[in-house]
Structure 1
């Protein structure tokens, strides 16, 4: 038996695929529900208490179809985004050519953006941080007005520390090619993932995966021990033996189990930072709003000093 500790989306997905390969799998979850950070609240409207969407590529779409889950696509015209600048929301241009034609950037920044799009890339450039790549190729203004709000609002992170390959993989792949950057991006246009949610909310995914699995809820694993070639796991019901163990846990929780076995690895896990992020859902009467913001929502650059990283106008995106 393979023991999966943690019934979030990662643990459940791992268990589902292992079981499909014919392996015996059991999932242990400390909470009384599956899903981890993925949780949908049914109030007067569906509210996501964690992630709000999936980025659906062809492979993921095929898997959802196999699971019998239906994507819910955004409403037409919901893609308009805004950025907070000098205390006011301003529409964010949809692409590089709109940036060059509009007034979002100054003329020097437009020239820097155009030069950056025309310059060929190199494999080493793709290894840079988000901020380093943007500053070298497009300049500080593009970093401050575009990449900084993106890094904060989407990744809740510092662009100086975020890796380009991890945050914007399409851009990284284009930057690694000995072609003008715009051409590398154009070649990948058909591979772009599409934003969606699921009918009934994202919690449908972990609930559907758990339906086919042996999941033990309210069963925290409090200790791991080596047992010959296998493992022993201590739960409230006593010790359970497993041939293999997968830790699908937050890093600090994994560190507690790993410390007696691999203290150096546990120390590395403890040093992994997590963004102190809260998701707040606010339900308003749309007719009572004087000037509702159209489109998807807005991002807040760090220099604006805003309370939040941004907001999604979810009812504009999905019915």
Structure 2
């Protein structure tokens, strides 16, 4: 079907939710001439993208930055009116990452030479990596956990002191339970398409050299008043299409599409896109048959995470904070998943003589530690920061965001869950399920899926 025919068939679209998936999709539809509305039951837009400003301090409650790593994401961001003028690119320090080993923050190697000399991995661990190109690929029908994949291809030490902390930082998840195929599809594709990680990386480098398309300007960005500026500017661009504080009384399928009663009026739509988190779908006033079908998605696990933003005088911190942050391997036995250095990456996060730290606690690793009580959390976190970064004294700024259900976990068997989503859509024409529980959890993945 041509785009012209599609425009003729689908005229009115309703999107429920106002996270990045919803707003990116609505903005693309508006640019293509569709009539769409975005309905948000709360007074706040942006979903998990929330920034908190208090005087000179700026804390992120959810994602901390966007990795621009595709032409689609780059073009989308440039299309949002006013966004480019608000964009700030991360300092070069963002390229440097640390992983905790034996209680010390050790820089992650950034090239072949540093990989040979780094104290992060033992000589035996480095030698084991050289076997990776000769490790046999698994058949595509065998599902493997992220942990098993890395141990099989790179060895146990690289799993413990590279991939385990990385997964803790991305998913706040358990690598033993996460499905490689669905949680890390690009890694899965490297083995399936090229026979391994090193071979796949070399093949991609060769393809990039032969490609006539302009190179991607890969960068890590935020905005002058935090990531929340992205949904705010999208909502401004969408204008009257975005409605907050909406009371939806009923959602029902009709012969011609979907009928929604909201804010005391009845509205007809050709297509309905649900972008709320999977765990929030039961709150929608859907018909019993659809509500029953969606119960299958309640098996998606969303572990709790607490995000604690703390500012200290620079003299209170022994570590130079010359990087993106420190990830903590599970085997180190600490009480935090990791700590980021946002004021080292972006200006305007803290006063000049202070540094802002963002600490993540809980997740699948230690869900019981992600408590909503700020003082109890501080009692756990401050000794950790003292041990890892040499932080002393009390913080000059504290902001705590507790997420009772944070990041969806793409666990082993997730292919069955994704197939259920496909069946639900097939059984309910005009319905689309979208969000970070379907096409990837990063902001870049959510934007790409919304534009697809």
Alignment of 1:83-162 (within 5 A): 83-95=99-111, 98-117=114-133, 119=135, 124=140, 128-162=144-178
Structure-2 residue corresponding to 1:204:
229
Tell me the alpha carbon deviations over residues 207-236 of structure 1, each in whole angstroms, 9 at most, x when there is no partner. 121123211110042431223222222334
Give the Cα separation in 2 of the matches to 1:233 and 1:109. 59
TM-score w.r.t. the length of structure 2 is 0.65
Deviation at 1:18, TM superposition (A): 1.9
Tell me by how many angstroms 1:312 deviates: 0.5
Paired with 2:219 and 2:176, the residues of 1 have a C-alpha distance of 27
1:49 equivalent to 2:74? Answer no
* Backbone CA RMSD of aligned residues: 2.6
| Alpha-carbon distance between aligned partners in 1 of 2:253 and 2:26, rounded to the nearest angstrom | 21
- 2:257 paired residue among 217, 230, 233: 230
Question: 188, 201, 204: which is aligned to 1:188?
Answer: 204
Q: 1:302 aligns with which of 305, 309, 330?
A: 330
User: Deviation at 1:182?
Assistant: 2.2
- Structure 1 counterpart of 2:248: 221
> For residue 15 of structure 2, what is the aligned residue in structure 1?
4
Unaligned runs of 5+ in 1: none
Distance 2:35 2:280 in 1: 24
Matches within 5 A, 1:14-29: 14-29=25-40
Once the two structures are superposed, residues 101-134 of structure 1 have per-residue CA deviations (whole angstroms, 9 ceiling, x without a partner) of: 3232222222211111455757739963321211
Pair 1:250-2:277 in alignment: yes
Please list every run of 5 or more consecutive structure 2 residues that lacks an aligned counterpart in the other structure.
Answer: 1-11, 209-214, 348-452
Aligned to 1:274, which of 291, 302, 313? 302
Match of 1:66 among 57, 64, 79: 79
- With over 3 angstroms needed to count, the CA separation of the structure-2 counterparts of 1:186 and 1:126, relative to structure 1, is farther
Write the distance in 2 (CA, Å) between the matches of 1:132 and 1:220: 46
Indicate how the Cα distance of structure 1 residues 84 and 207 shifts in structure 2: closer, same or farther if over 3 A, else same.
same
Match of 2:419? none
Checking the alignment, whether the CA contact within 8 Å between 2:16 and 2:274 is kept in structure 1 is yes
Equivalent in 264, 267, 278 of residue 240 of structure 1: 267
Q: Answer with 146-155 or 156-165: which moved more.
A: 156-165
8 Å Cα contact 2:125/2:157 also seen in 1: yes
| Residue 371 of structure 2: aligned partner | none
1:265 — aligned with what?
Answer: 293
SS in 2 for 1:278: strand
Answer whether contact 1:122 1:178 (CA < 8 A) is retained: no
Residue 164 (str. 1) matches residue 180 (str. 2): yes
- Residues 126 and 154 (structure 1 numbering): CA distance in 2 closer, same or farther, change over 3 Å? farther
Q: 2:318 aligns with which of 286, 290, 296?
A: 290
Quote the offset at 1:26 in angstroms.
Answer: 0.9
Distance 1:264 1:108, change over 3 A: farther
Tell me the matched-pair count.
Answer: 319
